[in-house]
Homo-oligomer: A and B are copies of this chain.
């Protein structure tokens, strides 16, 4: 049967001061009226029922996620420590396989904004069918809309069928010139939407992933803490996909964004005629291309452009939109008494 694994970890820093470790971006209504975690589950409606959606997250979020996503308690996999994506996805796939030896798994992240849920579902279904048909680990490549340097790229190789190609190579977070070259050469964004049969993924892990494979017996013994003690943190891309010869790519024909920075809201939210995104109470007077978010007091802008202005959790942030990707440097510099917002 079809299963989904939703990765819902995340440090909660990139949307400071709105996001916090206790309320990270996947729980916030950044792109719409619901949180991206809730929208991720909704998006699977008709394809995979809640009983077969597993969510992996840290201990601080597990209970809240279960409640917000209305999942069975046993479907929430609590990662005892953050160890990148491979251990979580392998554990979840192992768990699906334990419950259902014929499990086919689609993996996704809880923080995505997706333009067309129907196209997303059809692509996920295609990826699952392709994973069965070719017995490969299938990646979904999204047609790039800009030379984004924050994403990974997939360079397609030889055709396997009308809609499927092998993967020639992966290119993670290229510089701007390389990103342009990749776009021109037909490379696709590595969305993180993957599909595989549980059996094939676990076989590839045994063959290629010494960072995780030796720890798998701990899962069989029901010792999750021991599993996480024994694995080395590594991403699924580096630890499995880039090493396996049994990878394929299908194209995703939907708008996709990982909503990684404040400036991403300009892509996933409606804008006013001056190019501003405004959430909450605000008045913009001769302002353009700004991102304004208030959970608190009304914000008034006059005569400014390309600014992010946020009031949330008792803090006010003002920075240029082009600085949004470097917010971690700012947070590293912030005194803890300002950085750590009131609960």
List residues of A whose CB falls within 8 A of some B CB. 17, 281, 283, 285, 294, 296-304, 307, 309, 311, 314-320, 323, 327, 330, 333-335, 338
Q: Shortest beta-carbon distance, A247 to chain B, in Å?
A: 40
Choice from B300, B319, B323 contacting A338 with Cβ under 8 Å: B300
Q: In the complex the two chains form, is B297's CB within 8 Å of A335's CB?
A: no
Q: In the complex the two chains form, is B316's CB within 8 Å of A285's CB?
A: no
23 A-B Cβ contacts within 8 A?
A: A281-B338, A285-B330, A285-B333, A285-B334, A296-B297, A297-B311, A297-B315, A297-B316, A298-B316, A298-B338, A299-B316, A300-B315, A300-B316, A300-B318, A301-B318, A302-B319, A302-B330, A303-B319, A303-B323, A304-B307, A304-B320, A309-B316, A309-B318
- The chain B residue sitting closest to A318, CB to CB, is B301
Q: Which residues of chain B are near A281, meaning CB under 8 Å?
A: 338
Q: Shortest beta-carbon distance, A20 to chain B, in Å?
A: 14
Q: In the complex the two chains form, is A307's CB within 8 Å of B318's CB?
A: yes
Q: Shortest beta-carbon distance, A255 to chain B, in Å?
A: 29
- The chain B residue sitting closest to A335, CB to CB, is B283
- The chain B residue sitting closest to A337, CB to CB, is B298
In the complex the two chains form, what is the Cα distance from A330 to B287 in whole Å?
A: 12
In the complex the two chains form, what is the Cα distance from A301 to B17 in whole Å?
A: 12
Q: Shortest beta-carbon distance, A76 to chain B, in Å?
A: 34
